[in-house]
């Protein structure tokens, strides 16, 4: 089974621009989560989608948004880029359910490295 794929792998943008990142989950997985990784803040949860609905959201400004399509593929968008948005953006997929309250394991993609100049 193919793993989680993310495109593009690298991006360079300038301040004020917007960017869209894409994530294709493992086949059969219906949940997609996004995380931001920076040297200063570490790994931080952005949001999670399941069956095209956002179920959970982290503490990020409204410039960060996402969506999920009917085939479970997901995109995240960052508008009005700031220098501090430079980071590795990781996508993770899971089956999305909870068995008796026990969460499904999340499997991560290789990430998209975004550099904002």
Q: Distance between CA atoms of 61 and 46, rounded to whole angstroms? A: 10
In the list 90, 93, 114, 116, the residue contacting another protein (rule: CB under 8 A) is 90
Q: How far is the CB of 73 from another protein (least distance, A)?
A: 17
3-state secondary structure of 98: strand
Interface with another protein includes 110 (CB under 8 A)?
yes
- Total number of residues that touch another protein (CB under 8 A): 27
Q: Are 46 and 76 in contact (CB under 8 A)?
A: yes
User: Could you give the string, one character per residue 31-50, with x where binding to another protein holds by CB under 8 A and - elsewhere?
Assistant: x-x-x------xxxx--x-x
Stretch that binds another protein, among 17-25, 69-77, 79-87, 108-116 (CB under 8 A): 108-116
Q: Distance between CA atoms of 2 and 60, rounded to whole angstroms? A: 30
Contacts of 102 by beta carbon, 8 Å cutoff, 6+ apart: none
* Residue 68: C-alpha distances to residues 43, 48, 82 (Å): 22, 9, 24
Please give the residue ranges that form the binding site for another protein (CB under 8 A). Answer: 4, 31, 33, 35, 42-45, 48, 50, 55-56, 58, 90, 92, 98, 101-111
């Amino acid at each position: 089974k193919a793993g989680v794929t993310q495109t593009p792998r690298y991006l360079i943008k300038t301040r004020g621009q917007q960017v869209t990142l894409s994530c294709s989950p493992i086949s059969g997985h219906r949940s997609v989560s996004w995380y931001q990784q920076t040297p200063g803040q570490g790994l931080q949860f952005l949001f999670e989608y399941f069956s095209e609905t956002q179920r959970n959201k982290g503490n990020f400004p409204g410039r960060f948004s996402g969506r999920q399509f009917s085939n479970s593929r997901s995109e995240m968008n960052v508008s009005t880029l700031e220098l501090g948005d430079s980071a590795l953006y990781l996508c993770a997929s899971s089956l999305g359910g909870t068995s008796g309250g026990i969460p499904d394991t999340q499997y991560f993609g290789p990430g998209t490295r975004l550099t904002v100049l």
